Amino acid sequence: MIIAMQATATESQIQHICERIREFGYQPHIIKGTERTVIAAVGPGDKKEHIESLKSAEGVEDAFPIIQPFKLVSKEVKKQKTTIKLGDVTIGDGGFVVMAGPCSVEGREQLMTTAVAVAASGAHFLRGGAYKPRTSPYDFQGMAEEGLKLLAEAREQTGLKVITEVLDTEDVKIVGEYADILQVGARNMQNFALLKKLGEVKKPIMLKRGLSATIKEFLLSAEYIVSHGNPEVILCERGIRTFETATRNTLDLAAVPLLNELTHLPVVVDPSHATGKRSLVRPLAKASVAVGADGLMAEVHPRPEEAWSDGPQSLRLEEFDILMKEIEPYIKLRQSEKH
């Protein structure tokens, strides 16, 4: 249920309501807005007698049930968009952030060349996999901690923030020591042990939509992270598996405005994994801006024909620079429409 406190509610009244919520068997989550405080009571089910009892308590303006199965990530609980600030970069404030880099960290020369180039083109984050989930056990699995060290070195050299994937609960600590954002890949979207562990991390998490996940399942996975203590979650639409074979996956662009209706969490789009085709990344990047995404993740490699993974979907350095120039007018138009 949701308990909306009066604008004049005192801290003691808020804590009293939290105590009442615990007595009823729910877990309170305090969300402080610019004008008033809202308390989300998450539990086994909203009972009418509990709602009516809380309505009459001092400092309470209203109490009502949460309709959606995903509670804390729902706009019912928080209408204001969640913003995630990392240094001078903010995700979810109406701007458009770009995450770019190679699928896999292959070595210093490859990573540094890419990092310097994407930074010069205007990217905000360097992406690169140090731990790689691969369909085949014989494919390159990543450089592990050595790859994380190279990402940190590239951040120091370019000023770019770093986003990289975490595969296992055992790796959360070490990845968290190097990364600015920890990424959960599509294959791990319903790895609930990992999601719970990431709920304890004090860094933003980017959650990718699973290969065959519904929007409801996607948001319930985000709920795992938020309900375990970490409110800074970014959703990533990266294509879903359908009957179509002409592209690697099918990019569900309709998911972006739908998610913006259902949740306060920021949404980014990954057209590289969605299509598997370099030629489709740039047009879909522009479409991502148009449908209201908060950002873009694109794979970039100095020599895609030599890439150890996902070369066919990786942009060349000059192609990424063109992409950044192409999306600029779309971003400016969107911002002017908001004003």
* Structure confidence at residue 225 (pLDDT): 98
- Mean pLDDT, to the nearest integer, of 279-285? 98
Does some domain include residue 295?
Answer: yes
The pLDDT-based confidence of 299 (bands split at 50, 70, 90) is very high
* Structure confidence at residue 267 (pLDDT): 98
In terms of DSSP bridges, do strands 37-42 and 27-32 run parallel, antiparallel, or are they unpaired?
Answer: antiparallel
230 and 295 fall within a common domain: yes
pLDDT in tens, 16-56: 999 999 999 999 999 887 778 999 998 877 788 999 999 99
Only one residue has tokens 């050595």, namely 146
pLDDT of residue 66 exceeding 80, the answer is yes
Rounded to whole angstroms, the Cα distance separating 253 from 291 reads 7
* Structure confidence at residue 36 (pLDDT): 80
- Mean pLDDT, to the nearest integer, of 222-243? 97
Does some domain include residue 315?
Answer: yes
pLDDT of residue 138 exceeding 70, the answer is no
121 and 250 fall within a common domain: yes
With CA atoms as reference, report the closest residue to 319 among 283, 293, 290.
283
Instruction: Judge contact between 307 and 299, C-beta under 8 A.
Output: no
Write b or e for each residue in 228-246: b if 16 or more Cβ atoms lie within 10 A of its Cβ, otherwise e: eebbbbbbbbbbbeeeeee
In terms of DSSP bridges, do strands 181-184 and 205-208 run parallel, antiparallel, or are they unpaired?
Answer: parallel
Rounded to whole angstroms, the Cα distance separating 339 from 336 reads 5
* Structure confidence at residue 133 (pLDDT): 66
* Structure confidence at residue 339 (pLDDT): 66
pLDDT of residue 238 exceeding 80, the answer is yes
pLDDT in tens, 171-229: 999 999 999 999 999 999 999 999 999 999 999 999 999 999 999 999 999 999 999 99
With CA atoms as reference, report the closest residue to 146 among 111, 194, 183.
111
The residue range of the domain holding 261 is 84-338
9 and 132 fall within a common domain: no
Does some domain include residue 72?
Answer: no
44 and 90 fall within a common domain: no
3-state class of 25 per DSSP? Answer: coil
323 and 201 fall within a common domain: yes
CA 324 to chain centre: 21
53 and 136 fall within a common domain: no
DSSP 2: E
208 and 116 fall within a common domain: yes
99 and 198 fall within a common domain: yes
* Structure confidence at residue 135 (pLDDT): 63
* Structure confidence at residue 143 (pLDDT): 87
Instruction: Judge contact between 148 and 111, C-beta under 8 A.
Output: no
Does some domain include residue 252?
Answer: yes
144 and 242 fall within a common domain: yes
Does some domain include residue 71?
Answer: no
* CA dist list (Å): 124 to 28, 138, 205, 224, 250: 35, 33, 16, 27, 26
137 and 15 fall within a common domain: no
6 and 100 fall within a common domain: no
For residue 296, give the CATH number of its domain: 3.20.20.70
Concatenated DSSP letters of 305-320:
GG-SS-GGGPBPHHHH
pTM: 0.92
3-state class of 146 per DSSP? Answer: helix
* Structure confidence at residue 337 (pLDDT): 82
- Mean pLDDT, to the nearest integer, of 271-292? 97
Q: Which amino acid appears at position 27 of this protein?
A: Q
Q: How many domains does the chain have?
A: 2
59 and 137 fall within a common domain: no
